[in-house]
Amino acid sequence: MSNSTINGFPSQKKALSQKNEAWRKQCIDYAETQSSIFSEGVRQSKRQKYLNYQLYNGFIDMDDLELVLNPHETIASYMPDKIPHYPIAAPKIDLLVGEELNRRFEYKVVVSNPDAISEKEEKKAGLWKEKIMELVKKAGDKDAQQATLQKFDKYLKFEWQDIKELTATNILRHYSEKQHFKHIFNDCFKDYNLAAEEIIQCDIISNEPTMYKLNPLNVHTIRSGGSNWIQDSDLIIIEDYWNPGRVVDHFYDELKPSQIKLIEENFVGNTASPDKHQGNIHNEPTLFVNTEGGDVNDYINLAESNGHNFGNFYDTNGNLRILRVYWRSFRKVLKVKYYDEDGNTQYDYFPETYKVNEDKGEEGTIQWINEMWEGTKIGDDIYLQMRPKPIQYSDINNPSKCHAGIIGYVNSTNQFKSVSTMDRMKQYQYLYDVEKDRLNKALAKYLGPLLELDLASMPENWQMDKWLHFAYANGIAVKDSFKEGNKGASIGKLAANIPQNGRVINLEMGNYIQNKINFLEYIKNDMSQIIGISPQREGAISNRETVGGVERSVNQSSHITEQLFAKHELFKAKALECFLQTAKVSFKTGNKKLQYVLGDESIAMLEVDDSFADGCYDILISFNDKYQKLESVMQELAQAGIQNDKMDFSTLMSIYMSNSLSETRRAIELKEESKAEKESKQFEAEQETRRMESQSKMKIEAEKVANEDKLNLRDNEYKYLIAQLQAKASERGEYDEDGILVAQDVDRKKLEIELKKLQQEDEHHDDDIEVEKMKVAASKSKAKSK
């Protein structure tokens, strides 16, 4: 088979004019001979992957079970013909898949091409300049300005993205919700645990970038070089069976009317063209021949050399075989050396038909670089899309590097055959099924202690069922001692005279059954240790275990399986990079408007322009489990934060609804900053209130002192006026009953006016004091409300 793989494929080092239709069909026809029976390199055989899927879905292949439990064929009678399946491995697969579904995937989009990086640096420098100028214009505290600059530097390092990066991030958000990337990746992770590989394909369908999962059973690779990545293979074949309606929907702009008519007439259910395709009806078991042995490979090589076609053009339900082929070919180009306006040497690549302009100093060198081609074969005679792939998924730093838009990872170590989680559990699953079957048979055989019954002791005319009825219903073993025997030496004798054997027979099956139960428990525990999933991680916790012991067991189990999630996240990052490259080509046709969902479930609009297609993008991720631990700690501390007024419900909801831990951190930081600012304003308001209270008290005290001085002055003036009036009265000798001169009414009126004036001033002063007290009380109330 290896010789066929190397020598059977048409030569790829040809000029474009030589790659005619006949050459393209030869490439597809060669790929057809390799489908369904062969995948080289580190990948498992199709049969092995198929058996793993069958085992997960509840079906046992008895031949595979015998291969595991009886590899030397020394105890053939030991193997049962058919046994039921008890899927103890499926819950462990489901546990890993469920954890992946709830696991956060933290990534960040960054531009990688030099032009975009330079543009990004210029934008950052401009933002710094604007910020510094803003602070210069606002003269203020130096410490506050320094804190502002540190905060701005942190923003630029960890959060700021230029317009291209932000656009790419929002595009991923939009299509992640629209095409359900989370569930696509989750299904891929299930494939990874069952078949040791996960594969997706990115393409443009109806002018939309699209990502979808591929079935590892239908993807075949040739010349992978022992790489763990499917996209590194020179030849990738995808064989599937589609209903005619889907075929027309997918290739409606490629199919000719005559080809659509052929699909309608020749492929209709079980009656589809038996003469033309006789012997090629799709039969699953024939696809999974064991290709590990040399004899089988030699037979396949011989059959292929004689022109035998192993492909099946339709199945029994009338579905068409669709063969999609992607291969790495060579492209002849000219590497042109020229000089720019500044006289610097530059290089660029042009098609082979380019005419070098020697008058401008150009120099051309012929080079052969890789180019991905594609082709589709429907049935056995409809060829479509035989061309260079519209999207080359190339590298800006290496024009020869390209792939077919098919991203896949194979769980292999040092180029050995891949091993899945199901492969590690398969032997235990088979052993459990066999032992469980033996236990069930033992339980069926075990009837408890049996009483030996001599039929001569039964009453006459009694049947066995009647005797058993009394034994079961009433617990009475009925016996007729006077029954006469009918045969043999007992003729004419009493049954009582015949020796009786009423002994009890105990089959002693209890110990055997208990041993089987213990052995089944041992199998499950050993399986858990092999794959690193402890019973505590599955939720099985005994009442004797401590909280710390359970937590340690779960953490250790997580460390064992963490590498599965890390490799899967690397696969997801490459898949997203591939999708962004697909979106770049899709959006080249013009501006496009999209809408995406933010972390708080609000909807934002996005308009994608031509500048997005000019960038190259990388996805940066973090592989450690600190995010998972942090998320767990945050969930535990959330209730305490709410109780201690460190967090409110809106912040808690933002944390749980956010898709990114960085967004969660930013939400908490903003809440903390808002709270600190509010506390600072409240502290300033309280300080201002205390200052106003102090000023009011000082004013009241000063007015009180002034009032006392004024009262003293009034008393002195009053006493002085009285003394004057008394002096005048004493001179005239005319006094009234108060001791004041009666004739001096004018002086008396003056005295009364002065007294009223002093009294009014006292009352006005008291009103001013009450107003000041009311102002102080109002300021205190306002400070408390803040």
DSSP one-letter string for 90-122: HHHHHHHHHHHHHS---EEEEE-SHHHHHHHHH
What type of residue sits at position 492?
Answer: G
Stronger pLDDT, 468 or 236, i.e. the higher one? 236
d(CA 584, CA 616): 9
Q: How far is CA 396 from the centre of its chain?
A: 29
Q: Quick one: CA dihedral 485, 486, 488, 492, positive or negative?
A: positive
Radius of gyration for the chain, computed over Cα atoms and rounded to the nearest angstrom: 47
Q: How confident is the model at residue 274 (pLDDT cuts 50, 70, 90)?
A: very low
As to burial, measured by CB atoms within 10 angstroms (0-12 exposed, 13-18 middle, 19+ buried), residue 222 is: buried
As to burial, measured by CB atoms within 10 angstroms (0-12 exposed, 13-18 middle, 19+ buried), residue 338 is: middle
Taking all residues of the chain, what is their mean pLDDT, rounded to a whole number?
Answer: 75
pLDDT (0 to 100) of residue 636? 62
Which helix or strand (DSSP H or E) is residue 190 part of?
Answer: helix 181-195
Average pLDDT over residues 80-96: 88
Residues 6+ apart with CB under 8 A from 116: 162, 164, 614, 615, 616
d(CA 211, CA 213): 7
- Within 10 A of 81 (CB to CB), how many other CB atoms are there? 5
Average pLDDT over residues 419-442: 90
Q: How confident is the model at residue 219 (pLDDT cuts 50, 70, 90)?
A: very high
pLDDT (0 to 100) of residue 383? 94
Q: pLDDT digits over 625-635, tens only?
A: 555 566 666 66
Worst-scoring range by mean pLDDT, 122-136, 239-253, 726-740? 726-740
Worst-scoring range by mean pLDDT, 208-212, 355-359, 423-427? 355-359
Coarse DSSP helix, strand, coil percentages of the chain, rounded to the nearest 5 percent:
55, 15, 30
Stronger pLDDT, 287 or 141, i.e. the higher one? 141
pLDDT (0 to 100) of residue 225? 84
Half-sphere exposure of 279 (CA within 13 A, CB side): 3
d(CA 155, CA 652): 23
Q: pLDDT digits over 161-196, tens only?
A: 667 777 888 888 888 888 999 999 999 999 999 999
pLDDT (0 to 100) of residue 735? 52
Worst-scoring range by mean pLDDT, 205-214, 276-285, 650-659, 723-732? 276-285
Half-sphere exposure of 678 (CA within 13 A, CB side): 8
The conformation of residue 225, written as its DSSP 8-state character, comes to: T
Which helix or strand (DSSP H or E) is residue 382 part of?
Answer: strand 382-388
Q: Do 390 and 372 form a contact (C-beta atoms < 8 A)?
A: no
- Within 10 A of 709 (CB to CB), how many other CB atoms are there? 10
pLDDT (0 to 100) of residue 297? 45
Which helix or strand (DSSP H or E) is residue 209 part of?
Answer: strand 208-213
d(CA 28, CA 46): 21
Ordered DSSP codes for 280-334:
-B--GGGGG---SSHHHHHHHHHHHHTT-----SB-TT-PEEEEEEEEEEEEEEE
Helix ranges (H only) for 421-546 are 421-445, 464-473, 510-531
